[in-house]
Structure 1
């Protein structure tokens, strides 16, 4: 497959609809979308390109933050894959923009030196990591420290009719290390959190459970070493149920991830046993 097409597919799998935008006329954008969609659905790059005669370049934008975009222009096919990547950040202070631009240039140079196939994806993930650490977002929630954390079992003595829940999805450059997967599976069982991960490039991690427990697993995951990782979505919600003696177990059982999870019990009276499931494709992740 064309590296230009692979890059777009990887980036689209790692971004939301407001983070990736085609650039061009309406006719060009329609042609861009038709090309990539057909490849995402299994058509080979050669066949897709043959059906889009005259399409030589792809132009698109990727939003890194509210203030920074990447502008990309690349040939669809060619002897060498040398995408043009520009930085757009008109509201940034000059010194901040210059540091970000220098980081982009260094990432691009390194990708070329190491003969990385998906140059745009590699530069994008590197810059995303940079903007997360060097240009912090003000609305990021602070996770609870481990010293103050109590497990779901320890909280059963203080039942109420309402439980605060949280579902969180991480995006990461890749997820391959067996040690990380073992740790996350162990943490899911310990904290009574349901987990679902998509391995490979890129990787996605999804966790759902009682808010305090999910925030603890988020803290632990961020403490691991990653090429690049960021929280894509956080969805807090409440579970309410009257006249029950074990509302916390009921709340965990009703999680969306619990409905198709391998650890789900056969009946509502079964002991809650949480763990982490693994899928290989983004499509499987979405279906779950």
Structure 2
């Protein structure tokens, strides 16, 4: 019976790892000899977990290492966050752990940025140069009707945000506009507990991107439609690079 359980757990491990590598093809690596999975965020943070023989049946992944974008050790902070989740046994949790790690890294980055900002007074030129931002989000899928509606209708600054959404597999979101409104909308979406909600690009600039439909956020059917709707070639190239097509 124990051998049967171990075999089942191994199969579930392999299936979960295959899904993660499909969702994060350039970011998740698996060392079979060490039984270790490593995740590298697009921002440069890294997380290393060991999968014991009893995972996911009766054991949890072991946290081996966690580093932020500046290569600072954030293992204890990450461990505390994971422990607070109270995740049940006999359930695949790697996707959840990766998302929470991204939250830790993002929160730490915001804290560091806030600390630095409090020490330096930004001049008006800098403020103007970064008054807008554009965010590209990659999703494993976008099918849920309510989530699709929420993606199209920000609760804050709806009239000032322009962008595109593409449902299906994968899902893609592009939002451009005033920094505070774009940040608020992305944060609102992130709270919906998506599967593999990944910010592939987050850049500030003096103006919003231009799209063929003009103002507002529009849903399109295909990745080709997304690309064609981005007016400036420079922005199209940046988008394709962000989603690892170019």
TM bucket normalised to smaller: 0.5 to 0.7
Among 220, 223, 226, the residue aligned to 2:192:
226
- CA RMSD in angstroms comes to 4.8
Asked whether 1:252 is paired with 2:218, we answer no
Correspondence for 2:17: 8
Among 81, 101, 104, the residue aligned to 2:82:
104
SS at match of 1:195: strand
Kept in 2, the 8 Å contact 1:170–1:205? The answer is yes
User: Structure 1 residue 234: deviation in Å?
Assistant: 3.9
Kept in 1, the 8 Å contact 2:153–2:217? The answer is no
Asked whether 1:197 is paired with 2:167, we answer yes
Distance in 2 between residues matched to 1:102 and 1:171, nearest whole Å: 27
- Number of equivalent positions: 191
Higher Rg: 1
After superposition, where does 1:120-269 map in structure 2 within 5 Å?
A: 120-136=94-110, 168-171=135-138, 178-186=145-153, 191-198=161-168, 204-207=171-174, 211-212=176-177, 216-224=181-189, 225-227=191-193, 229-234=197-202, 251-253=210-212
Distance in 1 between residues matched to 2:84 and 2:111, nearest whole Å: 23
Gaps of at least 5 residues in structure 2 are: 1-7, 115-131, 223-242
C-alpha spacing 1:120/1:85, structure 2 compared with 1 (3 Å): farther
The normalised TM-score by structure 1 is 0.46
User: Structure 1 residue 275: deviation in Å?
Assistant: 1.7
User: Structure 1 residue 61: deviation in Å?
Assistant: 1.0
User: Structure 1 residue 173: deviation in Å?
Assistant: 8.2
User: Structure 1 residue 127: deviation in Å?
Assistant: 2.5
Kept in 2, the 8 Å contact 1:4–1:74? The answer is no
Distance in 1 between residues matched to 2:113 and 2:56, nearest whole Å: 44
User: Structure 1 residue 88: deviation in Å?
Assistant: 0.7
Distance in 2 between residues matched to 1:79 and 1:127, nearest whole Å: 19
C-alpha spacing 1:59/1:219, structure 2 compared with 1 (3 Å): same
Distance in 2 between residues matched to 1:183 and 1:7, nearest whole Å: 29
The normalised TM-score by structure 2 is 0.52
C-alpha spacing 1:205/1:137, structure 2 compared with 1 (3 Å): farther
